[in-house]
Structure 1
């Protein structure tokens, strides 16, 4: 079977407007989390967010930006960077595909236009409402940008959507349906309704007095995630195609595993049994053993139940030998974009042979599963890395694990 390689990276995150600035901030341990000061947030129990470092509409033609939901805008910016970074592959459009996952898609448009409808009536609703709110809007926007005609796809699997986008991109190339795929995830839904809903679930951190330290993966005092926004896209290519055109190769996407807990709509299976299954399937797909994995970029959202379940999943699939990091301590939780952005961080960890430090872990959770992990805390750690895992989990029981190997 032909290798599938990564030749381009693109991202816009709470840490930076592109991959380089986001990665630099991550290694410096900088936080993208801040206090939400909008008037509507005053009554919210949780008021900490991880907003984009760079306003996307300022980097898109003004007329075009007005025709795109914010989720589509971030997808477009990440796609442009990834495509340029890959050298703008000259590929038959009928051999080029796009897969962009999202958790909720054009939520800001839907909620905003509902306000217009209620306040001003149906004749004032934008005629662009439907193409701006539909969940496939980000992938369609990217498909139009790169002229992809081998298929434009949209996995909607909550917080695993970005990783699932990459997994499906790999499947398209393996199945012979594409030579090049732009794959990843995008999300932008910082708005009163999602924040109120997550707050009512007690899923979000209420450390409003200390925003930068609110996201605390694996820490004993963690109390929920911080809502973020962003996009991450990578260019995947059949190895022969990439080498024939002299492309720079960042890493090999060696395997992927997908499973479902079938346990609860929002709570993970407490032992992490089926998250572990996804990781084991990914290792099998990659032809690797647990001891080959030197690094895990953990989903680690800072929820009391989720972090412990994930620790169990990592231990039962990989063991305690891999250096684990939780980058949401700095980026917040970008929902459907998180797995794709974290895949980029995993690829860069392999390239630079360094594991970013997890921030805000002052007192490691007492659970023996967490205690057994080799969690990199504070400063980055230099390492010799051959292979790394990025795992992502989402409401609905979705579990996705990706295995990357050094180029």
Structure 2
């Protein structure tokens, strides 16, 4: 399988105020009137697109070969809660048309596409806390299939009182403090990136997703092991070549992850890092945030394995390498 070039990436984690000063005036205005998940998405995407050299003239024609693939565990959860609260308190006259327009989980991706005139594929998907890694995998497949030249891909989830209450009551038990974050990367078809002399951060080599029907079972792990093995095969990477692996399992599912790595990697023992110990559980942003961490920590040209494991049973694995120095 062909390698997909990573030309830029940007992340924001646990920010009180979403930074918008680096955005063009029109994009700032759009972000300022948007829901928080959209503001986070616009802020990170604007920085990533600028670093990749893909910010277009607002007066230019839309870019039919550049698009967006966004993963999110909760999407419009907070918007739906705000809309419902207003409706419950004041009846139909109090319902907000502006909020209603954002009560779909692809609202953030749509606003991003409009703001930057990205007329290529526009995809929003969810797979629990593994959503961001699944988005990177889907973007890789679209680029390999020739459906786009470049894609902004990654994940985002916003936190607020309704969601933190739901999590505290046992919804999607993640075992770590929930945290808000967005992490987006620019993935490009290699020829397109070379032709415009784009910067190179690294490359996606392979990926796979899986499912664990009973993740809390003491023998679970086959789904993740299968995903790791498939990603290694697609990337043509041997377990012993891995420079590091990024752990992602909730503490309660650490055994599942350990069994899966033992089954898929055999005697290979790459260095293990766990960004979630620093950032907390960032849900949709977790996988892309882990990839950015791995690219920064691994030696140039060395393959890294990024995992994602969600209490919902969704699991994923992605192989990448940082740019050679």
State whether TM-score is above 0.5: yes
The 3 A distance-change label for structure 1 pair 54 and 247 is farther
Matched residues in 1 for 2:217 and 2:31: separation?
38
Unaligned runs of 5+ in 1: 14-51, 206-223, 354-383
Matched residues in 2 for 1:270 and 1:77: separation?
42
**Which residue among 205, 208, 218 is the counterpart of 1:257?**
208
8 Å CA contact 1:300–1:326 kept in 2: the answer is no
Which residue does 2:258 correspond to in 1?
311
Aligned to 1:183, what secondary structure does the other structure show? strand
**Which residue among 264, 279, 282 is the counterpart of 1:334?**
282
Q: CA deviation at 1:203?
A: 6.5
User: Does 1:403 pair with 2:319?
Assistant: yes
**Which residue among 345, 349, 359 is the counterpart of 2:293?**
345
Aligned to 2:243, what secondary structure does the other structure show? strand
Deviation per CA, 1:28-87, whole angstroms, max 9, x where unpaired?
Answer: xxxxxxxxxxxxxxxxxxxxxxxx234117657775345322111111111011101111
8 Å CA contact 1:67–1:132 kept in 2: the answer is no
Mapping of residues 279-318 of structure 1, within 5 Å: 279-301=228-250, 303-304=251-252, 306-318=253-265
Which residue does 2:7 correspond to in 1?
7
Unaligned runs of 5+ in 2: none
**Which residue among 224, 228, 234 is the counterpart of 1:275?**
224
8 Å CA contact 1:10–1:82 kept in 2: the answer is yes
Mapping of residues 133-148 of structure 1, within 5 Å: 133-148=103-118
**Which residue among 170, 195, 220 is the counterpart of 2:164?**
195
**Which residue among 149, 153, 171 is the counterpart of 2:123?**
153
Matched residues in 2 for 1:128 and 1:9: separation?
30
The 3 A distance-change label for structure 1 pair 135 and 203 is closer
Q: CA deviation at 1:327?
A: 0.9
Matched residues in 2 for 1:202 and 1:232: separation?
23
The 3 A distance-change label for structure 1 pair 63 and 83 is closer
Matched residues in 1 for 2:219 and 2:109: separation?
33
Which residue does 1:117 correspond to in 2?
87
Aligned to 1:64, what secondary structure does the other structure show? helix
Matched residues in 1 for 2:29 and 2:231: separation?
43
Aligned positions, number: 314
Aligned to 2:176, what secondary structure does the other structure show? coil
Q: CA deviation at 1:92?
A: 7.4
Q: CA deviation at 1:148?
A: 1.7
The 3 A distance-change label for structure 1 pair 270 and 140 is farther
Matched residues in 2 for 1:68 and 1:159: separation?
24
Matched residues in 2 for 1:88 and 1:283: separation?
31
Q: CA deviation at 1:189?
A: 2.8
Normalising by structure 2, what TM-score?
Answer: 0.89
Mapping of residues 43-192 of structure 1, within 5 Å: 52-56=14-18, 59=21, 63-88=29-54, 93-192=63-162
8 Å CA contact 1:103–1:158 kept in 2: the answer is yes
Q: CA deviation at 1:204?
A: 5.6
Aligned to 1:93, what secondary structure does the other structure show? coil
Matched residues in 2 for 1:133 and 1:268: separation?
35
Q: CA deviation at 1:276?
A: 1.1
Aligned to 2:210, what secondary structure does the other structure show? strand
Q: CA deviation at 1:281?
A: 0.8
8 Å CA contact 1:259–1:278 kept in 2: the answer is yes
Q: CA deviation at 1:299?
A: 0.8
Matched residues in 1 for 2:217 and 2:119: separation?
37
Q: CA deviation at 1:201?
A: 2.5
Matched residues in 1 for 2:108 and 2:171: separation?
29
8 Å CA contact 1:204–1:226 kept in 2: the answer is no
8 Å CA contact 1:4–1:237 kept in 2: the answer is yes
Matched residues in 2 for 1:227 and 1:245: separation?
40
Q: CA deviation at 1:131?
A: 2.7
Q: CA deviation at 1:348?
A: 1.7
- RMSD of Structure 2 on Structure 1 (CA): 2.4
**Which residue among 192, 214, 224 is the counterpart of 1:241?**
192
Deviation per CA, 1:166-185, whole angstroms, max 9, x where unpaired?
Answer: 00100001111111111001
Matched residues in 2 for 1:128 and 1:394: separation?
32
